[in-house]
Structure 1
Amino acid sequence: MQLSAALRRRVLLALAGTGLLVAVGLVLSQFIPTLVFTIFLYYASRPIYRRLAALPFPDSIREHALPYRRQVHAAATIFFFLLPFIALLGYTLVLLVPELQTFFGSGGLGAAYLSSLQDLEPGSLPAPLAALGADDLLTMGPGELIALLRNPTVQSWLGRVSSTLVDSVSVLATILLHGFIMLAGTYYLLTDGPRLVGWFLDTFDGSGVLGEYASSVDDELSSILFGNILNALVTGIIGIFVFSLYNVFAPGSVQVPFAPLVGALTGIGSLIPVVGMKVVYLPVAGILAVSAIAAGEPSALAYVAVFLVVTLVVVDTIPDFLVRPYVSGNRTHVGLLMFAYILGPIAFGFYGIFLGPILLVLIAQFFRVIVPYVITGEAETSDATADQTSLTEFGSSES
């Protein structure tokens, strides 16, 4: 009877723990895009964090800084790397959104909100207000001011303006909240993530198979998220600025149409195996050449040649040369990875370009590591884990 009561208590505690996990999962499910971007920022910044961790502290602050070295390195990584990167990415989106709006037309991305912002422009004032100057408003009596505010045209305009301001504040607050969650999440993943994984493996991984699985997933995600996707983002940002700068000097007949949009597409094209971004800028160069000939300006072909050379060197070669050396994973099939990049955004939305590869890696490494253990009951460890700094090893060296 005593054993039965103890078993019941264990079952009840297990059910309570399951309920807590379900509750946490429901809360986190409301922030899936933010969590996915947090994982990307973690893998994008971790190499910088590790390089900073390898640097010695100056003798003058060594005694006081050593107990907080993980926190100092994480804060420095976020301040000197992540914040400038996010600011640059945000400014790039500011350039890209109007191009998307123009490309997709009046019903395009954010059309309702963008058009509502026009109510805040001085030229959009209703006729009763436009006819008045600032001095007239200051000299108006209470009765005149009330009559003006009761004008249906003015009331309608004030209603749209107030709604736009409320929406803008709401959008800004949401962006700041999710930005704080991403930065805070990245900070704690850098400082405490390895120790949390180490505790989990020490507690639940008696066979060693979970450690092998975690190490394989970590290696591939580091390769894909820091290597391939970061390369695509950097390439896209460079492409946007290069093509926009080219349009400043090029004559109208050979200017790149929708330059920021084409620049972003070059970054996406870099994810395509073998051909990469050439599927974007080579057809664009062909269109520019045809446009120059059709306009009767054969001399403008020199600008097309400059476009090709600059794109090949600055957009295609330099980012690939700087970022690709960090790409070391070779377990995930290139074709499957390409479909993950394509199907992820279709299935999950804009954040699917990160979530698709993450799910692919989790599934692929599950079948590579876990399934053989389930079938045979034997855990096999690979030599790959000995050649890299695993999560648990990195955590113990920092503790």
Structure 2
Amino acid sequence: MEYSTDLGRRVLLTLAGVALLLVVGLVLSQFLPTLVFTVFLYYASRPIYRRLGRLPLPKSFLKRAVPYQKQVHAAATIFFFLLPFVVLVGYTLVLVIPELQSFFGEGGLGAAYLSQFQELQGGSPPGPLADLGFSEVLAMGPAEVIDLLRNATVQSWLGRVSDTLIGSLSLLTSLLLRVFIMFAGTYYLLTDGPRLVGWFLDTFDGSGVLREYAAAVDEELSSILFGNILNALVTGVIGIFVFSLYNLVAPGSVQIPFAPLVGALTGIGSLIPVVGMKIVYLPVAVLLAVSAVVTGQTAALAWVALFLVVTLVVVDTIPDFLIRPYVSGDLTHVGLLMFAYILGPIAFGFYGIFLGPMLLVLAAQFFRIIVPYIITGTVETTQTSLSEYDSGES
């Protein structure tokens, strides 16, 4: 009887734990894009964080900072690397979004919102307010103002203005909250992430297979997120500014159409194996050359050659040279990665370009490490371990 009571208690606790995990998962699912971006920022900033940990510090400072060394390094990484990076990417999006709206025509949602905003803020609302000047409104008496505000058309216009302001404030608040979650999550992943993973593995990994799986996933995510995707983002930002500067000095016949959009596509093209970003800028160069010949300005072909040389050196070679040495993972097939980059955004939206490769790595390493253990009961260990990846974080 005592055994049955203990077993029943354990079953109830198990059910309560499962219910708790479901509730936590439901809450976290509402912030899935934010969590995905947090993981990306963690892997993007971790090499910088580790390099800061290896820098020699003055002895006087080191004595005071040793208890908070990880916190100081994490805060410095976020402030000097992540914050400027996020601001730069945000500014880049501000440049690209109008290009997308122009490219897809004036019937898009952004153009419609802009038209409505201009109607609300342009100083020419419908109804009685359209016939009144600012000085006339100020000269009104209290009774006249009350009569004007009771007008149905004016009330409708004020309601739309109020809804627009409230919606904009709500959007800004939500955006700031998510940005705070991303930076705070990245900070705690840098300082306490390895300790949390170590506790989980020590508690639940009796066979060592989870440690092997975690090490392989960590290696591949570090390679993909810090190497490939960060390279694409940096390349896209450089491409946008280089192409925009080129348009400032190049003749009109060989200017790049939708330069910020082409720069962003160049960064995305760098994710494609073998051809890379050449699939974007080489057709653009051909288009510019054809435009110069058709318009009879053959001398402008020199500008096309300049475009090719600058793009090859500044956009194509330099980012790859600086970031590619950090790309060391080779466990995930490049063809599968390409499909993950393509299908991820289609399935999940913009953040799918990060979530797609994450899911691919988790699944691929599961079948490579966990499935053989399930079938044979043995673990094939490699020289890769989590301790190697956590070096420099203590």
Normalising to structure 2: TM-score of the pair? 0.95
How far the C-alpha of 1:95 sits from its partner, in A, is 0.7
Indicate the residue corresponding to 1:242 in structure 2.
242
1:41 and 1:124 map into 2 onto residues whose CA distance is 45
How far the C-alpha of 1:337 sits from its partner, in A, is 0.5
Contact map agreement 1:118 1:124 (CA 8 A) in 2:
no
- The DSSP-based 3-state class of the residue aligned with 2:264 is helix
1:104 and 1:315 map into 2 onto residues whose CA distance is 26
Contact map agreement 1:44 1:226 (CA 8 A) in 2:
yes
Q: Deviations over 1:31-63 (max 9, x none)?
A: 111110000000000001111112233323323
- The DSSP-based 3-state class of the residue aligned with 2:312 is helix
Indicate the residue corresponding to 1:221 in structure 2.
221
2:115 and 2:226 map into 1 onto residues whose CA distance is 37
Contact map agreement 2:126 2:153 (CA 8 A) in 1:
yes
Greater Cα shift, 10-19 or 321-330 = 10-19
Greater Cα shift, 205-214 or 117-126 = 117-126
1:301-380 correspondence to structure 2 within 5 Å: 301-380=301-380
Contact map agreement 1:100 1:108 (CA 8 A) in 2:
no
The alignment's C-alpha RMSD in Å is 1.9
Q: Deviations over 1:66-125 (max 9, x none)?
A: 111111111111111111111111111111111111111233354443333323544655
Normalising to structure 1: TM-score of the pair? 0.94
1:273-312 correspondence to structure 2 within 5 Å: 273-312=273-312
Q: Deviations over 1:253-295 (max 9, x none)?
A: 2111111111100000000001100000110111111111111
How far the C-alpha of 1:148 sits from its partner, in A, is 3.8
Q: Deviations over 1:129-155 (max 9, x none)?
A: 465544333322223333443455544
1:158 and 1:234 map into 2 onto residues whose CA distance is 44
Consecutive unaligned residues of structure 2, counting only runs of 5 or more, are none
Letter in 2 for 1:96: V
Q: Deviations over 1:359-388 (max 9, x none)?
A: 0100111111111111111111112338x7
1:109–1:301: structure 2 CA closer, same or farther, 3 Å change rule? Answer: farther
Letter in 2 for 1:192: D
Q: Deviations over 1:222-281 (max 9, x none)?
A: 000000000000000111111111111122221111111111000000000011000001
Contact map agreement 2:253 2:288 (CA 8 A) in 1:
yes
Indicate the residue corresponding to 1:210 in structure 2.
210
Indicate the residue corresponding to 1:30 in structure 2.
30
Indicate the residue corresponding to 2:91 in structure 1.
91
2:301 and 2:193 map into 1 onto residues whose CA distance is 54
Contact map agreement 1:119 1:160 (CA 8 A) in 2:
no
- The DSSP-based 3-state class of the residue aligned with 1:384 is coil
1:322–1:124: structure 2 CA closer, same or farther, 3 Å change rule? Answer: farther
Indicate the residue corresponding to 2:232 in structure 1.
232
How far the C-alpha of 1:170 sits from its partner, in A, is 1.2
1:222–1:252: structure 2 CA closer, same or farther, 3 Å change rule? Answer: same
Contact map agreement 1:48 1:77 (CA 8 A) in 2:
yes
Indicate the residue corresponding to 1:81 in structure 2.
81
1:157 and 1:96 map into 2 onto residues whose CA distance is 32
Indicate the residue corresponding to 1:263 in structure 2.
263
How far the C-alpha of 1:6 sits from its partner, in A, is 1.6
Contact map agreement 2:271 2:338 (CA 8 A) in 1:
yes
Aligned residues: 394
1:160 and 1:188 map into 2 onto residues whose CA distance is 42
- The DSSP-based 3-state class of the residue aligned with 2:55 is coil
Letter in 2 for 1:214: A
Greater Cα shift, 180-189 or 102-111 = 102-111
Letter in 1 for 2:166: V
Greater Cα shift, 21-30 or 140-149 = 140-149
1:120–1:48: structure 2 CA closer, same or farther, 3 Å change rule? Answer: farther
1:394–1:25: structure 2 CA closer, same or farther, 3 Å change rule? Answer: farther
Letter in 2 for 1:183: F
Greater Cα shift, 267-276 or 109-118 = 109-118
Contact map agreement 2:246 2:307 (CA 8 A) in 1:
yes
Letter in 1 for 2:389: S
Indicate the residue corresponding to 2:2 in structure 1.
2
Task: Report % sequence identity.
Answer: 75
Consecutive unaligned residues of structure 1, counting only runs of 5 or more, are none
1:108 and 1:363 map into 2 onto residues whose CA distance is 38
2:392 and 2:114 map into 1 onto residues whose CA distance is 47
